[in-house]
Amino acid sequence: MLRVSLREISAALKEGRVSPTELCQRCLSFIKATKFLNAYITIAEDTALKQAEESEERYRRGQILGDLDGIPVAVKDNFNTAGIETTCASNMLKGYIPPYSATVVQKLLDQGAVLLGKTNLDEFAMGSGSTDGIFGPVRNPWSYSRQYREKSVQNSHTENEDSNWLVTGGSSGGSAAAVSSFTCFAALGSDTGGSTRNPAAHCGVVGLKPTYGLISRHGLIPLVNSMDVPGILTRCVDDAAIVLGVLAGHDPKDSTTVQDPFKPFELTSFIDASKLCIGIPKEYHAPGLSSETLALWSKAADLFENAGAKVIEVSLPHTRYSIICYHVLCTAEVASNMARFDGLEYGHRSSMDKSTEVMYAATRREGFNDVVRGRILSGNYFLLKQNYETYFIKAQKVRRLIANDFVNVFRNGIDVLLTPTTLSDTIPYVEFIKEDNRTRSAQDDIFTQAANMAGLPAITVPTALSEKGLPIGLQFIGRAFQEQQLLTVAKWFENQVKFPMIQLQGMMDHGHTVCRHQKSAFFS
């Protein structure tokens, strides 16, 4: 039952085939069974059960709040949640209990969703592997899938099964792993440089990055103010549209949200592909792109063409500089945003108190890990008076060139761009840690961060399995605020490729055992 989509489980709840409390309990026990994935930092068991009971009461009275009523969801741990510990996987905020909830979290709760817990991430969302938080790395559920295990038995040398697990990608790896391993039906992530789409592609789920300014960032602990957006992770494109419909819209508490009214939409299954124009940016064949991903990208282009769409090669000439530009702007904004952590009003506080400066320095030394400190120092370097013009302003100019590249392409009649999401499928943790965080981010974010620079919506759709049995995703980038068109194309593509469901050995049996004990009429 946990394997179905959000839409299907919502229908089941409305028809009374399953109750919210039963669903919540199953998800909670499944979370316990998949604890070794380390996807969750905090599990809000008591509040979740209470929310589920309230939802059940509403179903009984026939007064449900919407499609999300009673649906278990998870939220990345850099969103503030009132009364539930929010840590950003950092010592700086360990034990911090926010007095308010982020707007997006509140919107989910107002629709009756059941918040299961907070998911794991890279510390302060800095990283592309979900390996650098203080609670440890997140394991990719596909490491335990039958598809991967069968292939690795054929290919592998004698390696200890348990030590060769794969990374989820980052930084919203916990959210991606939670959705992929069926412990929740939707999860919130954040996307600054690809942090939602990267783990979504590696975990075989749908990852949507909405247009900058569509969804409120109030309550999302900021990394890069001009590029952050809350991201949505679900198992299919329809579900992403449902969640987007709930979250999007102007928020008076976030003045960077646009004031245009947002109308939630339903996706049609049929599109007239002959009216579509798909762009293939040639610079997205970057060095290091795996031949499997390349082949899938080619096949996807062919797929659209055979359906009657116009598939045109386009050029985004500044692509190769976008990762460097992102690096400068990201570290500069991070240096500014991390300045709020001084230990005075919240978070960790050092016991050294000779002066405020000494206390701040000691607090930040104790609270931040290497990655965060490294980015703060780099950012400060680029913002020094002598470097401001040559690095920061230069990067802002390059940003405009990159954004203009996209504007030009879309102005020439392209509806949607089709690109790879990642260079290849995911790799084992022991290999991932051979390079440092910055190098990995520079490699892994190469296709995803341009959309953040330009503020455009982008979605990754799981496309096929690699030879190792691991998911590869392809990315669609759309015009600003045209999520309906983007999601329609993505949904059509999803229906064509029919990505296989993950087959988790042993874990589903446990789920069945729980099912039998609870005598539910609804069987998976």
Partner 1 sequence: MRKSGGGRMWILRFGRYIRGAPSGGASYWGGLSPGRRFTQAAAGGSDGRQDAAGDPRRRGRVYQNPTWQHVEQRPLPEKKVTVEVFDHLERLALVDFRNWEGVQRLEKAIQFADQLHAVNTEGVEPMDSVLEDRCLYLREDNITEGNCSEELLRNARETVEEYFIAPPGNIPLPKLEERDTFLQVSE
Q: Which is nearer to partner 1, 185 or 297 (CB)?
A: 297
Binding string, 403-422, against partner 1, x = CB under 8 A? x-------------------
Task: Give the Cα separation of 386 and 320 in Å (integer).
Answer: 26
How far CA 120 is from CA of 165, 176, 183, 375, in Å, comes to 17, 10, 14, 20
Q: Is 76 strand, coil or helix?
A: strand
Q: Which is nearer to partner 1, 396 or 520 (CB)?
A: 396
Q: Which of residues 264-303 bind partner 1 (CB under 8 A)?
A: 280, 282-283, 285-292, 294-299, 301-303
Considering only 5, 94, 273, 374, the residue that binds partner 1 (CB under 8 A) is 374
b/e map 43-74, b = 16+ CB within 10 Å: bbeebbbebbeebbebbeeeebeebbbbbbbb
Kindly state the DSSP code that residue 26 receives in the 8-state scheme: H
Annotated catalytic residue: which of 10, 19, 55, 76? 76
Q: What amino acid is encoded at 193 in this protein?
A: G
Host H or E run for residue 344? none
Considering only 110, 161, 431, 509, the residue that binds partner 1 (CB under 8 A) is 431
Instruction: Please report how close the Cβ of residue 341 comes to partner 1 at its closest, in angstroms.
Output: 10
Is position 35 annotated as part of the catalytic site? no
Q: Which stretch binds partner 1 (CB under 8 A): 10-18, 114-122, 269-277, 312-320?
A: 312-320
Is position 76 annotated as part of the catalytic site? yes
Task: Give the Cα separation of 338 and 347 in Å (integer).
Answer: 12
Task: Give the Cα separation of 470 and 151 in Å (integer).
Answer: 10
Instruction: Please report how close the Cβ of residue 339 comes to partner 1 at its closest, in angstroms.
Output: 8
Q: Which is nearer to partner 1, 57 or 161 (CB)?
A: 161
Instruction: Please report how close the Cβ of residue 428 comes to partner 1 at its closest, in angstroms.
Output: 8
Q: Which is nearer to partner 1, 118 or 364 (CB)?
A: 364
Instruction: Please report how close the Cβ of residue 494 comes to partner 1 at its closest, in angstroms.
Output: 12
In the 3-class helix/strand/coil scheme, how is 289-340 assigned residue by residue? Answer: CCHHHHHHHHHHHHHHHHCCCEEEEECCCCHHHHHHHHHHHHHHHHHHHHHH
Task: Give the Cα separation of 403 and 453 in Å (integer).
Answer: 7
Kindly state the DSSP code that residue 255 receives in the 8-state scheme: T
**All residues at 6 or more sequence positions from 100 whose CB lies less than 8 Å from its CB, including other chains:** 80, 82, 219
Considering only 15, 266, 272, 345, the residue that binds partner 1 (CB under 8 A) is 345
**Crossing angle between the packed helical segments 319-337 and 370-383, to the nearest 10 degrees:** 100
423 binds partner 1 (CB under 8 A): yes
Instruction: Please report how close the Cβ of residue 266 comes to partner 1 at its closest, in angstroms.
Output: 24
Q: Which is nearer to partner 1, 160 or 259 (CB)?
A: 259
401 binds partner 1 (CB under 8 A): yes
Instruction: Please report how close the Cβ of residue 47 comes to partner 1 at its closest, in angstroms.
Output: 18
Q: Which is nearer to partner 1, 112 or 210 (CB)?
A: 210
Annotated catalytic residue: which of 130, 195, 378, 466? 195
Q: Which is nearer to partner 1, 224 or 232 (CB)?
A: 224
Is position 498 annotated as part of the catalytic site? no
Q: Using an 8 Å Cβ cutoff, are 502 and 202 in contact?
A: no
Considering only 35, 320, 411, 516, the residue that binds partner 1 (CB under 8 A) is 320
Considering only 327, 429, 458, 475, the residue that binds partner 1 (CB under 8 A) is 327
Q: Which is nearer to partner 1, 71 or 92 (CB)?
A: 92
Q: Residue 410's CB: how many other CB atoms inside 10 A?
A: 22
Q: Using an 8 Å Cβ cutoff, are 174 and 200 in contact?
A: no
Binding string, 478-497, against partner 1, x = CB under 8 A? --x---------------xx
Give the residue from 382, 384, 348 showing the smallest Cα distance to 365: 348
How far CA 298 is from CA of 75, 89, 292, 414, 447, in Å, comes to 35, 39, 10, 18, 16
Binding string, 45-84, against partner 1, x = CB under 8 A? ----------------------------------------
430 binds partner 1 (CB under 8 A): no
Annotated catalytic residues are 76, 171, 195
